[in-house]
Amino acid sequence: MTKMKTGVGSTERANDEIREIEVKLDFTNNALASILYNQGNTQVLVCVTQAPSLPRWFPRDSDRGWVHAEYSLLPGSTDTRFRRERSGAKGRTMEIERLVARSLRGAVDLEQLGPVALTVDCDILNADGGTRCASITAANIALRLAVRRLIATGDCLPKDKRLTREEVRKGAKKEPLTQEEMDSHEMLVMPNDVAAISVGMVDGQVWTDLDYILDSNADVDMNVVMTSAGEFVEVQGTGEEATYSRQELDSLIDAAQIGISELHRLQIEILSNAS
């Protein structure tokens, strides 16, 4: 057990151990896909919905899709009530929304997705550190499930099987895909998964998956987003009233890579039999 320097808490986890993860698929009924995701005491509800059309700024006959994300801390998610942002997302919220959206688009081939617009809503029900990272990891699971369902219903098809407007006008029917074709197209739309984790330096030690106590005591904290191909989407690292060496930076990145590899394994396992 490691004592925190402020004396306000402790953790029973090993330095390189991520918090326990629990996932419930289809937590809500109306969304195309939804999950309730728990990472330790951080709890995220992710819902994916399909928009009726592409964003207005897309070309009229665009053949590529779009993935948008929104993020919100619900009022009861923190130890004191978090006030609703009724007039739109503020600075921190907007920055996280953009991070989640960029991360998801880093895992999706928008050309293969086709003219489909998806919105991924990440609502934090309980915040205990790492909410942006948990949102990205959870959102990827829900997004893949949504894509899988769009392919099954014929709303997301390979380019050579999509009907033109003229064909639709004349009453042409979509050609159904075999299970092998559906699986193949899913891997074209989402060739990789994306996950994120927080790491930090606390009293000179590297910690993985920071909860609130660890995060509030960290001299250095970092959020790392990676694809399952081992490529980075984003690295956000900050010295909190401290500096860090190149060696410490490398140690943090190494810890993040190990943790994210475990998250990718869990993502695959969770969706292995989902449809």
Retrieve residue 209's tokens: 């998956």
Whole-number mean pLDDT of the chain?
A: 90
Q: How many domains does the chain have?
A: 1
Report yes or no on 253 lying in a domain.
no
Report yes or no on 157 lying in a domain.
yes
Report yes or no on 99 lying in a domain.
yes
Report yes or no on 166 lying in a domain.
yes
Distances 147 to 48, 77, 182 between C-alpha atoms, Å: 10, 29, 10
- Which residues, in sequence order, are bridge partners of residue 47? 34, 121
Report yes or no on 261 lying in a domain.
no
Binning pLDDT at 50, 70 and 90, where does residue 87 land? low
Binning pLDDT at 50, 70 and 90, where does residue 11 land? low
At 214 the pLDDT is 93
259-269 pLDDT, tens per residue? 999 999 999 99
Contacts of 19 (CB under 8 A, 6+ apart): 13, 39, 40, 41, 42, 209, 211
The answer to whether 64 and 114 are in contact (CB under 8 A) is yes
- Comparing CA positions, the residue from 39, 15, 47 lying closest to residue 203 is 15
Report yes or no on 268 lying in a domain.
no
> Where residue 182 sits, what CATH number does that domain have?
3.30.230.70
Distances 106 to 156, 158, 169, 265 between C-alpha atoms, Å: 18, 19, 35, 18
Contacts of 122 (CB under 8 A, 6+ apart): 44, 45, 46, 69, 70, 71, 72, 100, 135, 138, 139
111-169 pLDDT, tens per residue? 999 999 999 999 999 999 999 999 999 999 999 999 999 999 999 999 989 888 777 78
182-201 pLDDT, tens per residue? 999 999 999 999 999 999 99
Distances 130 to 122, 144, 146, 179 between C-alpha atoms, Å: 13, 22, 24, 37
**pLDDT at residue 73 tops 70:** yes
Name the more confident of 247 and 83. Answer: 247
Q: What are phi and psi of 2, to 5 degrees?
A: -105, 125
At 7 the pLDDT is 40
Range of 37's domain? 2-192
Report yes or no on 70 lying in a domain.
yes
Report yes or no on 51 lying in a domain.
yes
At 5 the pLDDT is 41
